[in-house]
Every structure is written in structure tokens, then in C-alpha cells.
Chain A
């Protein structure tokens, strides 16, 4: 099935727009696309008439343009006849927003639209979903624009069974400066499911990392998903809900009793290098990290800090997350010592964490980062940058980016996320380097690279 017209439409018909109720979901969708997005939107209602001064078309076939995407937001019982009209008119695909299908017990209604779509090779998302959000291009969510927190255009694709979760993850992406290529709420996933989305994003040149919020798989779908994700060549991050504990029963085998649904899910993901996030923050953190560094590490971390306490906390967190912070040899320490300015050589500590102290300057951080970038025993550098230190300036992000560009070793920065340090933060983010909002978050970013294993 070709999903291009569905996800990259030039034209959109919104079916079910009300002539009198502006808060009708179809009206919300029509209005925002008509007023704010690149896609050309047409309202459809069998009564015809005008909405916001624009012509309302009674039928999709009345629209004087070829329609790529139909948004179906009618009552469930007429969805199948609307879909038949879409197919008849050569529409490229649909998002079925309407609920009232298998989630409400009306499985037959759902089966009817699935078999119709399959027969006509007509792709649709849903039903019972928010649909598709493509930054600056289109937005089929029935949420008024002013209520949404919209992330920038970027390279992370997000797929979610739940629309509410998707909107929330998008807000978190926006707050962390993580850009989104496409966000899709697949709802009942009656036709297009996670595996179809994986195949689409695998080919999508605008996507580098794919995240999924998953509730459950149908029979054997988990296996297909894992194998497709591991072969897709891009990092895949998953967050699972419904982690029901394995039940115990005297008549079960020990294996059936211990290997419950979630234990199997989690093991299969990690077996194939798919990165499992444990909460909504991790999924965004992992995406930020893997979007910048699509590589795998064994877990050897070098820490550079201006505060001993932060270095110690970062070390503890690394160790509790399966990463190691190897102590540097005398020779390695001497090399680091010689690289920094003479004024801190006798007060700084070079054993890992490298504590440059509060007397350090940008130059010292750059020198230490350069030295560790050339140390083959270290796979990733965590830099704890505290802008309270007088010698640290807002230029340090962009300067460390040059070190990364030159040496190619991943650098993860921690900078407190407050407005006045934005320039320092953007020195990293605008140059495609991850910045964590806490010490722990920085460690999670490194952990993402350890969990990701391209096949």
C-alpha cells in the first residue's frame, strides 16, 4: 500500500464539517488546516452551504481538485459509505477520526471498512484516533491549535496507539527542543498498524528515529514488529503500558508462569536492540540522544565537570544504569593535566570524573573534551556545565560542537534548563547535539546508545 498521499498530502477534504457548530471536531480540523497549514483543505457536508465564507461541498466528488487525504469525522454508521465515496473518487487515503468501532464493541462495523479498504488498496489510519500531525504541513488532531504545544520540525517520528499520550509526548518534545518529522495516532489500528508505520518510516528520508507508544500486539505481531524494527536501520524506541505482572498458577509450567506478557515484551525488545523507555520522559530523552548519535556503545563514559558533587552524582547514576566510568591511568591524567590552563592544573582532579573546579574557563572544558575525544578507552563524554561558574560563557555549546564535528565522539551536555542559559543550550541543540535538563537525564542519553544495537 502506498502511504505517500496519506502522509504527505497536497489536498485534504474534511468530511462531516458542521454548518452551525464551530466546536465540532471536523470544524476544528478544517479551520486549523485552512488557516495555518500548507495543505489545501476543503470542507464537506451533504447540505452544502458556507463555512467561514468558504464553499462547503455536498460530496467529495464535487470538490474541483484531486483529493489526497480525506478526514472522516462522521458518525460511525455512515463511515463505510463515506469511505466508499472516497475510493470511488480516487482519494489517496483517509484518517478515520470517528469512534464507535471495535473499541465500543462494534467489531463488525470495523471489519466492514477494513475489508473494503483492503479490496480497494485504500490506506486509512484509525478509526478512533487523532490521526496525523506534520509540522507546518498539516494537522488532523481535533484539538484547537491554541491548546497544543507544538514541537519544531525535526527528525523524530512518533507513533502512538493513544491520541492523548501522543499530544502529551509532543508537548514534552517541544519543551526539550526535540523536533518531530511526523506524529501519528493510530487508534484502533484496524488497517495500518505499528508494523506498517515502521516500514513507512524506514523509507522516509525525513525521519532518523522512530518512537512508539504501545499498548498491545495482536497474535504474533510482536515478533513481526521486533524483526522489522531491528532490520529498519534506524533507532526504534518503545514505551509500553499494561505491564500486567505474570500470574502464578500451580498447573502452569515455571516458564509460563515467569515469562509473562511484559517480561517477554521487554526481553524481545532488548534482544534486538530496540530501546525500551520506562516512562514518558525517557522516551523523549532517548529520542533526543539517538537523533544526534545513531551509534551503539558498550558503556564506557568520561565525565567532565566543574563541580565535584555533580561529577560524583553522575558517576553513581552511570553505575546504576549499567555504564562504567573507568579511572584514568597516570599517563591519561598527565595528558589531561597538561591540556588545561596552568592556573587549574594543581587544583583540578583528572581521574574521571575530571573535575575542572569553579576556577575553570571555556578553554579548559574545550581542552579536556578534546583530550577525551581522542582517548580510545572512552566512548562517550558527559559534560556537566554549570553556568554559575564565572569562567563559563554562553559560547561554550557552539565551541564544544566544533570538538564533536572534528573528533566524532558523542558529547552529552547537562545544562540547567532555565531561560537565561538558552543561548548556551542552543549552542548545542541548533548544532544537533543533545542537552540534558538534569544529571540523570544526561546519563539516560548515554544509556540510550548502550541499549541501541543496529543489526
Chain B
């Protein structure tokens, strides 16, 4: 699973210590996980052409080696509905420290989950699944298991979440596609088993799940030795 292209992406990031969103997403796309369709560009006209092609509304996110948590610097804008707004967002984001372009991507609706991995000193690679989004560190509604995950582990992780009704379809929403989630987590689990010695931790946040798919909409990979 850990092919040359993935290794190359990890190596290229070694000086910085972490992979920015476009490269991190590429790692998971290459590993066969479902990742949002996106374009990374520094040219606002190109961004607009891509947005028109995939259809509004779109999401825009800043790419900067100096920004680990994009929301903290207003580096994420959801629900952009037209060319004019996208152009303005582009201009605003250009002022963010270390600006290296913008990611424009499709809007996926559904339940926001977080899937993560940490190389634990005592227990080796562990996987975390929980209710995602920017407030994840406040509510900490997560389940942790040692990797590699078995199917029963994924079921028990979902069972243990306080936010389980959100997964099962809360107030008229359709339940998420649990099979797609399982498939993603099992693939993620086998991938991280091969990351030992290279990767310190990973956030896939959010992973957006709905009735048809589970898709990684943002990703960050921290290399070994980087906090």
C-alpha cells in the first residue's frame, strides 16, 4: 500500500514536519480512500473556472505552511455561491501569513466525523473516531482503539459515541453509510500500520458521511518527531 508516490510526499514534507492539506489528501487518494474533488491554485480565475465546472456552492481553504489549523485564521469559507464571492474570498485569503494558494473544492453535506491516528509510545499506532468539526477538542466525543482495527472495533467505536444518533439519522436525516465508513477506516488502519517510524499523528477532520458516501474533506499528517 505504501507506494513510491506516497513515500515521496512524506519525504518532501520532512523539513516542514507536516503535510499541508493538498499533499495529505493526495496520500489518502493514492491509498484508495474517498477524498473531495479539489483544485489547488494561486490563480483566482482558474479557481472560478473550476468552481463553475464542479458547480456552486464550493468551499475555499487557505494553503499555508505557517497555518496548521486553518479555521483559527479565517482560512476556511463554506457555501461560496458564485464567481464574485469566490474572487473576494481569494483576495482575503491572499493576506494570510505564508499564503501558497487556495483549495477550491466540492461541497459535501452530511455528518462531520473525525478519524485520526497517533503513534503512541506505549501502545503503538492507535486510531480515533469521533464527532468531528472544529469543536472536537471541546466535546471530545471520540473512541480510541489500537490499530489494526477489526470490524468489531469499528462497531463498538460507533456504539460508544454520545453523538451516535447523528450517525444513525437524527431528526429526519438519513443514516450514514456505515459500510462506506467501515471500508474507509479499515483502509486507513492498514495504511497507518505501515507508517510506523514515519508519521506521528494524522487528523482526517472532517470526514463527511451521508447516506451515499464517506469522504475526507480535510486532512493533516504530522511526521514523527514533530509535535
Asked if A248 lies at the interface with its beta carbon under 8 angstroms from chain B, I say yes
Q: How many angstroms between the C-alpha atoms of A264 and B168 in the bound complex?
A: 26
How many chain-B residues does the 8 Å CB contact rule pick out? 34
- Provide the main secondary structure of the chain B interface: strand
Asked if B69 lies at the interface with its beta carbon under 8 angstroms from chain A, I say yes
Q: Is the CB of A261 within 8 A of B137?
A: no
Asked if A259 lies at the interface with its beta carbon under 8 angstroms from chain B, I say yes
Asked if B227 lies at the interface with its beta carbon under 8 angstroms from chain A, I say yes
Q: Given the complex, which residues of A lie within 8 Å of B68, measured CB to CB?
A: 250-251
Which residues, 29 to 73 on B, are CB-close (under 8 Å) to A?
Answer: 68-69, 72
How near does chain A come to B153, taking the closest CB pair, in angstroms?
A: 6
Q: Given the complex, which residues of B lie within 8 Å of A249, measured CB to CB?
A: 227
Q: How many angstroms between the C-alpha atoms of A272 and B130 in the bound complex?
A: 20
Q: How many angstroms between the C-alpha atoms of A255 and B226 in the bound complex?
A: 14
Q: Is the CB of A219 within 8 A of B146?
A: no
Asked if B162 lies at the interface with its beta carbon under 8 angstroms from chain A, I say no
Asked if B222 lies at the interface with its beta carbon under 8 angstroms from chain A, I say yes
Q: Is the CB of B123 within 8 A of A254?
A: no
Q: How many angstroms between the C-alpha atoms of A217 and B123 in the bound complex?
A: 9
Q: Is the CB of B116 within 8 A of A265?
A: no
How near does chain A come to B86, taking the closest CB pair, in angstroms?
A: 28
Q: Is the CB of A226 within 8 A of B123?
A: yes
Q: Using A219-B121, A268-B123 as known contacts, say yes or no to A253 and B203 having CB atoms under 8 A apart.
A: yes
Q: Given the complex, which residues of B lie within 8 Å of A261, measured CB to CB?
A: 120-122
Asked if A233 lies at the interface with its beta carbon under 8 angstroms from chain B, I say no
Q: Given the complex, which residues of B lie within 8 Å of A226, measured CB to CB?
A: 123, 146
How many chain-A residues does the 8 Å CB contact rule pick out? 29
Which residue of chain B has the shortest Cβ distance to A222 in the bound complex? B122
Q: How many angstroms between the C-alpha atoms of A136 and B120 in the bound complex?
A: 42
Asked if A221 lies at the interface with its beta carbon under 8 angstroms from chain B, I say yes
Asked if A256 lies at the interface with its beta carbon under 8 angstroms from chain B, I say yes
Choice from B117, B130, B144, B201 contacting A252 with Cβ under 8 Å: B201
Asked if B143 lies at the interface with its beta carbon under 8 angstroms from chain A, I say yes
Q: Given the complex, which residues of B lie within 8 Å of A253, measured CB to CB?
A: 116, 118, 201-203, 220, 222
Choice from B146, B153, B203, B226 contacting A254 with Cβ under 8 Å: B203
Q: How many angstroms between the C-alpha atoms of A243 and B21 in the bound complex?
A: 33
Q: Is the CB of B123 within 8 A of A264?
A: yes
Q: Using A223-B146, A271-B145 as known contacts, say yes or no to A258 and B123 having CB atoms under 8 A apart.
A: no
Q: Is the CB of B203 within 8 A of A255?
A: yes
Which residue of chain A has the shortest Cβ distance to B134 in the bound complex? A254
Q: Is the CB of A248 within 8 A of B137?
A: yes
How near does chain A come to B192, taking the closest CB pair, in angstroms?
A: 11
How near does chain B come to A284, taking the closest CB pair, in angstroms?
A: 26
Choice from A223, A258, A272 contacting B142 with Cβ under 8 Å: A258
How near does chain A come to B173, taking the closest CB pair, in angstroms?
A: 24
B residues near A, CB below 8 A?
68-69, 72, 114, 116-118, 120-124, 126, 128, 130, 136-137, 140, 142-146, 153, 156, 200-203, 205, 220, 222, 226-227
A residues near B, CB below 8 A?
216-223, 226, 248-259, 261, 263-265, 267-268, 271-272
| 18 further contact pairs, Cβ within 8 A, besides A252-B227, A255-B118, A261-B122 | A216-B122, A222-B122, A222-B123, A252-B201, A254-B136, A255-B117, A255-B128, A255-B203, A256-B200, A258-B116, A258-B137, A259-B120, A261-B120, A263-B144, A265-B122, A265-B123, A267-B126, A268-B145
14 residue pairs of the A-B complex, CB under 8 angstroms, read A218-B122, A219-B121, A219-B122, A222-B124, A223-B122, A226-B146, A252-B222, A254-B116, A255-B201, A259-B116, A259-B128, A261-B120, A271-B146, A272-B146
